[in-house]
């Protein structure tokens, strides 16, 4: 019988391998950190001469069974045994292996901008021990010129901010296409304290309070009668529409900036009626617009005590 591991390995797509190199100070660390956040396995300052051994290691690529996580390997002029010509020869050898999908990313930056960055951070250029940073940058640029010519991908970071570079890496190297930020919609009662962590807090206490209706008091914002009561408030429809449209406008921008988590909280006095109903309605509207929010009601199980409600009068 054929070996199961051999069969599964043969049916797997090629191992994606990205070599990340370039000028010191051009953004390699930023790129590797962003790739790691995107689900890549990261190895920095790795001697390329050991690449064969790495690829032969069981489980290279990690990830779940049947899934090969892409690997990004960072190296530069400081890496032990660094020789651009030897690196290129080894890359050519690996490029012919059908089980690998190998590419090289070179990060460049103008010498003037690199010098500014070194002066700003007060760091010494590794190739300029007793000379100005400019001389080390010139020597490094000459050393790396073969790799720059060879690399399939080139990113010049001269005019890029850190956020610009992170966004560019996300656009080019995101693993899969269905990645979404983690979105939480919650309700809470101000009388029981503010939520400890929230990106947005909407105070719904301007709406008429169902608590003062004896029949509605034991109910919650999930009950139809409470929802009808809140909807009859003349301020609800316009406020809800404006809040919803603001959220729908901001969420794609947060995604574009690489924000991983967004928590939107709705509060009322006790956290059982107005905030619960509004959170439920917002969550449903977001689902209709392609988002998958997690819905949490912090105080839904709390007792509807007169003391808590009367303490604020609203």
Cα torsion at 172, 178, 181, 186 (round to 10°)?
Answer: 170
CA–CA gap between residue 149 and residue 116 (Å, rounded):
25
The percentage of the chain sitting over the pLDDT mark of 90, rounded to a whole number, equals: 37
pLDDT band at 311 (very low <50, low <70, confident <90, very high): very low
In 118-242, which ranges are E strands?
A: 153-156, 182-189, 200-203
CA–CA gap between residue 86 and residue 48 (Å, rounded):
9
pLDDT band at 270 (very low <50, low <70, confident <90, very high): very high
Return the minimum-mean-pLDDT range out of 37-46, 61-70, 136-145, 193-202: 61-70
Q: What is the model's pLDDT at position 105?
A: 92
Phi, psi at 16, each rounded to 5°: -80, 125
Is the Cβ–Cβ distance between 266 and 199 less than 8 Å?
no
Q: What is the model's pLDDT at position 65?
A: 44
- Tell me: pLDDT of 9 over 70: no
Q: What is the model's pLDDT at position 312?
A: 47
CA-wise closest residue to 188 among 108, 278, 107, 111:
278
Query: How many other C-beta atoms lie within 10 A of the C-beta of residue 122?
Result: 6
The helix, strand and coil proportions of the chain, stated in percent and rounded to the nearest 5, come to: 45, 15, 40
Rounded average pLDDT over 63-74: 70
The percentage of the chain sitting over the pLDDT mark of 70, rounded to a whole number, equals: 84
- Tell me: pLDDT of 47 over 70: yes
Query: How many other C-beta atoms lie within 10 A of the C-beta of residue 15?
Result: 17
pTM above 0.75? Answer: no
- Tell me: pLDDT of 11 over 70: no
Return the minimum-mean-pLDDT range out of 5-19, 49-63, 142-156, 202-216: 49-63
Rounded average pLDDT over 95-115: 87
Q: What is the model's pLDDT at position 314?
A: 58
Q: What is the pLDDT of residues 160-174, one digit of tens each?
A: 888 888 878 887 887
| Cα separation values, 235 from 28, 217, 264, 281, Å | 52, 21, 20, 15
Which residue's structure tokens are 């303490």? 311
- Tell me: pLDDT of 114 over 50: yes
Extract the tokens encoding 78.
């400081």
- What residues form DSSP beta bridges with 74? 20, 44
Any long-range contacts for 63-68 (C-beta under 8 Å, 24+ apart)? 66/8, 66/12, 68/12, 68/13, 68/15, 68/16
Most confident of 7-16, 182-191, 225-234: 225-234
Q: What is the pLDDT of residues 192-237, one digit of tens each?
A: 888 767 889 999 999 999 999 999 999 999 999 999 999 999 999 9
Q: What is the model's pLDDT at position 310?
A: 45
Phi, psi at 279, each rounded to 5°: -60, -40
Rounded average pLDDT over 244-266: 89
Q: What is the model's pLDDT at position 66?
A: 47
Please tell me whether residue 261 adopts helix, strand or coil conformation: strand
More confident residue, 100 or 197: 100
Q: What is the model's pLDDT at position 207?
A: 96
CA–CA gap between residue 94 and residue 99 (Å, rounded):
9
Is the Cβ–Cβ distance between 173 and 40 less than 8 Å?
yes
Query: What is the residue-averaged pLDDT of the chain?
Result: 82
Q: What is the model's pLDDT at position 307?
A: 40
Q: What is the model's pLDDT at position 264?
A: 94
Which residue's structure tokens are 């003062």? 212
pLDDT band at 250 (very low <50, low <70, confident <90, very high): very high
């Amino acid at each position: 019988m054929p070996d199961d591991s051999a069969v599964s390995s043969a049916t797997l797509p090629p191992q994606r391998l990205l070599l990340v190199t370039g000028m010191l100070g051009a953004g390699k660390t930023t790129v590797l950190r962003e790739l790691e956040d995107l689900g890549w396995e990261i190895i920095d300052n790795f001697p390329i001469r050991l690449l064969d051994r790495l690829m032969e290691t069981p489980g290279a690529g990690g990830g779940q069974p049947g899934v090969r996580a892409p690997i990004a390997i960072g190296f530069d002029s400081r890496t032990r045994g660094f020789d651009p010509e030897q690196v290129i020869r080894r890359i050519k050898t690996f490029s012919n292996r059908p089980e690998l999908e190998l590419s090289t990313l070179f990060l460049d930056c103008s010498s003037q901008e690199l010098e500014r960055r070194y002066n700003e951070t007060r760091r010494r250029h590794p190739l300029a021990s007793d000379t100005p940073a400019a001389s080390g940058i010139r020597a490094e640029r000459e050393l790396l010129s073969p790799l720059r010519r060879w690399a399939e991908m080139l990113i010049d970071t001269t005019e890029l901010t850190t956020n610009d570079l992170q966004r560019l890496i996300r656009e080019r190297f995101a693993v899969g296409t269905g990645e979404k930020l983690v979105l939480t919609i919650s309700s809470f009662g101000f009388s029981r304290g503010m939520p400890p962590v929230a990106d947005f807090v909407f105070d719904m206490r301007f709406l008429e309070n169902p608590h003062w209706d004896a029949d509605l008091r034991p109910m919650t914002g999930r009950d139809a009668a409470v929802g009808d009561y809140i909807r009859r408030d003349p301020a609800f429809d316009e406020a809800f529409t404006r809040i919803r449209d603001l959220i729908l406008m901001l969420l794609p921008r947060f995604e574009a900036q690489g924000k991983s988590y967004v928590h939107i909280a709705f509060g009322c006095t006790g956290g059982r009626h107005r905030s619960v109903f509004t959170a439920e309605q917002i969550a449903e509207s977001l689902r209709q617009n392609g988002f998958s929010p997690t819905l949490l009601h912090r105080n839904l199980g709390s007792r509807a005590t007169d003391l808590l409600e009367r303490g604020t009068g609203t």
